[in-house]
Structures are given as C-alpha cells and as structure tokens.
Amino acid sequence: MNVQLIIQGGNVLLYCHMRMRFTLKILLHLLLVFGFFEVSEAQHILLDSRPDGSPAYSDVVFSPRFLRPESFDIAKNFSATRAEWIYVAQWSEFAEQLNRLPGWVGLTLNSNPIVVGGEGYAQNFDGIPLVAPWMKSWGAKWATTTHPETRKALAQQLERSLAVGARSIQFDDPLLQVYSARFHAGDFNPATQAGFVDWLRRYPNQAQVRAAGLDDFSGQYRDFLVLKHQIRDAEDYKHRFQSFPSNALWQQYVQSTVEDYFFLLRKRLHENSPHPVALSMNLSLKWPDARYHSFFLSAFPDYMMAETEINDTSALIAQAATARSLDLGFAPSIRPMDLPRNRVAIAMLYALGAQPVVPWDVFAPNQPRYFGTVAEFGDLYRFVRAHTDLFDHHEALATVAIIIDPGRFPLPAIQSLTRRLAQRNIPYAFELLSDAKGLRPLTRERLSGYQLVALGLKETELPDSDRALLSSIDIQRVEANSVTNAQLDALSLFLAAPGSEKLRLLPRAGTGKAAGSWVVHVVDEEGGDVRRDVSRQDCRRRIGIKPSTLGIPEHVTASWISSEQHRVLRGERTSDGYLYFSIPDCPVWGVLRLTK
C-alpha cells in the first residue's frame, strides 16, 4: 500500500509539472533497487511508468466512433472494459445511453469543431479556410486554436463531455494549425499572425531573428512575405515557403501556439473534480525520432490511441518500445489487413503491453470502415479478460538498451538492429537522452540489468556525464551499426525447435503482487487464421528457455495457458543451460507461465 501511495503521489506531481514526469521512472527503479519489488537483476525490467488513466494491461478498449444501436451489445460481447474515442452527435440521447457502456467512457475533441461566425479556421495565404485532404468529402474545416471562437467551441464541447462523466478525452488530429502550416501553406488566420511579433521579441536566439530579416518586423506575417519575397497568392506561397529564411521561425511559432493550447487543456483535465481526466491522442510515433512532425506532442498525453500499421511485427515491437521510452500508454487501433494478420497483430500488441482497440468501426485505408466480428476476434479478447493475472503487474524485460538522441535519430542503423533483435526474440528498450519535455540524463538505475548497450550515436557525441557513467559501468557497449551477429547470438534467451521458427517469444516479469511470476507470450506469426487455430490440436511445439539470462530460479512450476488449454508442464534441462518445454497445442497465441 505504501508503494502504491508513493507512486500515486509521483503521478500527481507529474501531472502538475509535465517536464518532471520522467522522475516517476527513476522512482520506480529506486523502489526496485531497495527491495520493494522482488525481481531479478539478470534482465532489465521496464517498470510501468505510464501515467494514471492509461488502460490497464488487461483492459479491452472498444471504440464506436458514433454510437450505433448495436454498439452496446457488441461491446459486451467483446468483453469491453473501456469505451473510448466516441463522438457525440446528440448529447441528450448520449446521457441516456451512458449506463449501457462499460464503466470507463472516453469522449473526443478534434481539429474541426463547428466555430460560430466561421472566423476561427486555419487559412491559406489568400484567406480561404483550409480543409484536410481526408475531410474534403464532408467539408470539415481545419480549426486554429489561436482564435478565441475556436477555443470557446472546444471548451464548450469539453465541458459537456466532463458533465456527462467522461473519464478520458481523445484528441483526434492533434497537430491543429501545425498541420496547416507545415503541409498546406498556412496558417494565415489573423489571430495566428497577431502573436508572431511578440513571440519573436521573446525568442532567445535574436541572431537567428536578424538573419531571417525579422528583427524590424511588425504587423502581419503575410504583409512581410509580400514585401520581402513578392508573394502573389496562395499557390505561389505554397511552392516557395520552405525556402524562406523566416519559415523556420514561423513554424516554431505556430508549434508554440499548439503547445500553449494543450498545456491549458491538460491543466483543465487535471483540475477536474472529483477525479482527473486522462488525455489520449491520435499520435502515431513509430520511433523516438524528433523529426516526426508530431513528436513535440508526446509531452502532453497519457497514452497514444492511434491508427497503426500492422504489416510488420518487428515494427510493432519498435512502436511499443517507443511508447514505453516516452512513458506513454499505447492503445493502438490497427489498420486492418487480412484476418490472419489482424489476429496476429492483436496478440502481439497485448504481449507487448499494449491494449489494441477492438477492430469494430475502425478506420481502414482506402475502403469503408471495418467491422470485425466477435466470431473473428472475440476469442482473443475473452482470453485477456479470462486471465487478467497473466497481464496485470507483469512488465516487459529487456536484454539490450538502445541509447537514442531523438534529435539525431539514425533510422537505418536502428531499424536494422531492431529487426535483427526481433528475429532472434531478444527483447530491447530505447533509453532516451532527451524527449519533448527536456533532457533525460542516464543513471546507473536506468542501465541496471542490461546485457548490452547499443549506442545510436558515437560515444564521443554523448554528454560528458553520460559518457563518464557508461565508462564506470561493467557493461558491454557498441555502436548500433556495429553490433555483430555473434554478439546477438550470445544474448539468446530462447531456442525454438525446427518448425517453430516463426514464433515470437515475448517475456514479461511479475512485479508487486505478481512477484515471482514470469510469463512468455508465444505468438505464431503464421497462425492467425481462426479456422486453422481450432484444427491444430495434434500439433506440438518445443521451445527452450535459458533461465539464467531471464533471472528465473532453478526450480519453477510451469504451465501453458491458451484459449483451449490450461496444463501443467514438465521442463527438461539440458547441458547447454536451456530448459525445454513441449507445448501441447498450436494456437495463434498462448502463454507459458513460470512461478516459484
């Protein structure tokens, strides 16, 4: 109980001061070091640093964008525990329907509210409101939060949501006017332009302001562009704006206006009574790379709930690692493909600590919205809810730390390394030197238990304190693009017998009330066909685990849990240090559990 109170207190502090959220991870490691949790130093355990309000590991998230008559029964049949990302069309009807939804209900704000008077929308150079390409069929205009009428419209919608008891708010398309400025040559709403002069005066690098020719600037940025660059119209600006010296400052300024809005939104959600309200975003960050246009937004939400591509399981592992590294929950809405791959992705995501949104009424590229059925996916979600003890309080293990400077993210090297790690079932984590909230110096606690440190930059490029710390720790380290196959083979945790090479083996360790428990999620990349799953009862698999590298004691009780089986297993120890288990069936997903 004391530990829980300490952690909750940390979260209260972090909600008030977002730049300090990372201290929670340090606190958790101190709790680990001083013995509050019974865990092993043989592996690094990625203790849960997600903010309060993030879905629990065993939650089932259901997301009917607009409530349909059948939504309520479908949610129940999928064993949903949360209904989120809901747009409300008729508030009076919605208030009557609330008690038919799961206990946790989350509503939605987005970038295109209806603004009274029509003046609060992002504009192009000619003053014409901008419409995002995917919204042209219904003509929804892109709003700008610099305008008071837009802020008023969003605030009214938020207060309605809080009044009916929303526990979370999903912000859809959260780039707001940043999107229009970077991709559609905006935002020339007079309200946006009005703040630029004052922002320039406060900008710390006045030499950059002078170099851009903005040191004597006053008035509207549009007038400056006409005078300085003879811009004729919106089309002319669209083709030339990225070459202007002033554009970098303009883009930074527009970004700051979005940051200001979300800072105030977070403040309002945290102050809500009787309980704070969580914030999620449609934020798709595949890597901890500051070059992503939406990376700056990672400072604000509690969890990401975004449309997510599923065509590459190694990329899913990287995306889950990215969310963990940013201390964010991860509730992805899969971009549906064929049924087998959809099922594999759902299993993989749960095994990685994510909570994949039920694929019913979800976005599908270049086709109508996708409505998966209970017959196709219900068994996966029922499995989670039937065995919550396999998910809750079990944290990811990592053998390899990949140290990243998000401002200098070496995509080819990291992409290659993470793919090789995934192929060998070697778990890894990203350890960031900074994030959207500020610097994150390395600490001894952050690096404890890792077997290899892969550097995403040259060691000489590390900050002095980080370089000194690495030199003082007895841990193998190498640049990410120089990791050899021999080094990776030496880190192997698992062996799969012939015929089982397409298995993803994803380990997690119990902490707190689940201490002394280890689970290995076994996901068959080629076994997602529901018809094939139920017809393979005569199948056998054999996998080997190296207990010493997982921190598992010599004597453990083993059991296999799948949707069809729950059996005690007898392990066979071999001279190579592995403990082998014969798995009695071959579903798309099952869990090997080891307990003291």
pLDDT of residue 215: 92
pLDDT of residue 555: 82
* Gap between the Cα atoms of 354 and 56, Å rounded: 9
Q: How close are the terminal C-alpha atoms of the chain, in Å?
A: 23
Three-state SS at 23: helix
Q: What is the mean pLDDT of each run of 10 residues along the chain (596 residues)?
A: 28 36 44 38 83 96 91 95 92 86 94 90 95 78 95 96 95 95 94 97 97 94 96 96 97 98 97 93 96 96 96 96 98 96 98 98 87 97 98 96 97 97 96 94 92 96 94 94 95 78 91 94 84 58 86 88 93 89 92 95
pLDDT of residue 300: 98
What predicted TM-score, i.e. pTM, was given to this entire model? 0.91
pLDDT of residue 31: 40
pLDDT of residue 21: 44
Crossing angle, helix 339-351 and helix 313-325, to 10 degrees? Answer: 30
pLDDT of residue 531: 57
Q: Which secondary-structure segment (H or E) carries 252? A: helix 247-270
Residues contacting 280, CB < 8 A, separation 6+: 84, 85, 106, 168, 169, 170, 171, 301, 302, 303, 304, 305, 329, 331
pLDDT of residue 291: 94
How distant is the alpha carbon of residue 211 from its chain centre?
Answer: 38
Residue identified by tokens 């060691």 is 459
Q: Which domains does the chain have, with CATH numbers?
A: 494-595 (2.60.40)
* Gap between the Cα atoms of 387 and 396, Å rounded: 17
Residue 523, strand partner residues? 504, 589
Backbone φ and ψ for 293, nearest 5 degrees, come out as -60, -25
